[in-house]
Structure 1
């Protein structure tokens, strides 16, 4: 029996970065989470485990509030993946300013939606 078609990792993980983690409007962010994530997702951050769409939305909103209106996450190349596991490298900082942080999102995809998301941060440069 052939395997199910692979999801579009690049589309899904870029949409997550743009529509969830760069989205300042809470209602639009909630709509994106409902589309992109399973009903009960889990996000693993270096310091916390976050469960549920509402909690992930709250974390994303708090990050954007904390770092100001010009802070943005930008993908570094296309996302890649296979067998339900995808990764997207990114950098973040002020829109026209220096890079503040770099990292990668690693996602377990179930039925075309994000079930688990690991946020991996690179150590500071220098």
Structure 2
């Protein structure tokens, strides 16, 4: 049986606030309609050279991530929004937040989760996982 290694005394690892970071990503990046505010949020929340993995491709860099978020909002219309579904969980630099999204009338058109690798309190890599459509 393998042993579990504990940090040396006085060297306890400081975990990021996964919930605050991943909720800020939804609200300030993926729900932000102003392109300059969205880019400022990406610059604050993501490392200098982030990567986002979507079902249809890989997005490299802060500006490209901001552009993808803007394109999603344009595609789905003015009332469309992402809403956190529960509290983000994480440990050892990996966090996950479930979400739902849809128009302003409360209809849910898509659900999924964001899984993020966190480095020094910022998102380094983000995987966008979509749930299969309901039958």
Q: TM-score, normalised by structure 2?
A: 0.91
| Alpha-carbon distance between aligned partners in 1 of 2:62 and 2:45, rounded to the nearest angstrom | 10
1:96: Cα distance to partner? 1.6
CA-based RMSD:
0.7
| Residue ranges of structure 2 left out of the alignment (5+ in a row) | 1-7
| Alpha-carbon distance between aligned partners in 2 of 1:15 and 1:62, rounded to the nearest angstrom | 19
| Alpha-carbon distance between aligned partners in 1 of 2:13 and 2:124, rounded to the nearest angstrom | 17
Counterpart residue number, 2:127 = 118
| Alpha-carbon distance between aligned partners in 2 of 1:108 and 1:82, rounded to the nearest angstrom | 10
After TM superposition, list the pairs within 5 Å mapping 1:67-82 onto structure 2: 67-82=76-91
Query: Are 1:100 and 2:105 matched, yes or no?
Result: no
1:95: Cα distance to partner? 1.6
Counterpart residue number, 2:49 = 40
| Residue ranges of structure 1 left out of the alignment (5+ in a row) | none
After TM superposition, list the pairs within 5 Å mapping 1:6-25 onto structure 2: 6-25=15-34
| Alpha-carbon distance between aligned partners in 1 of 2:21 and 2:106, rounded to the nearest angstrom | 27
Query: Are 1:57 and 2:56 matched, yes or no?
Result: no
1:52: Cα distance to partner? 0.2
Counterpart residue number, 1:5 = 14
| Alpha-carbon distance between aligned partners in 2 of 1:80 and 1:95, rounded to the nearest angstrom | 27
| Alpha-carbon distance between aligned partners in 2 of 1:31 and 1:4, rounded to the nearest angstrom | 29
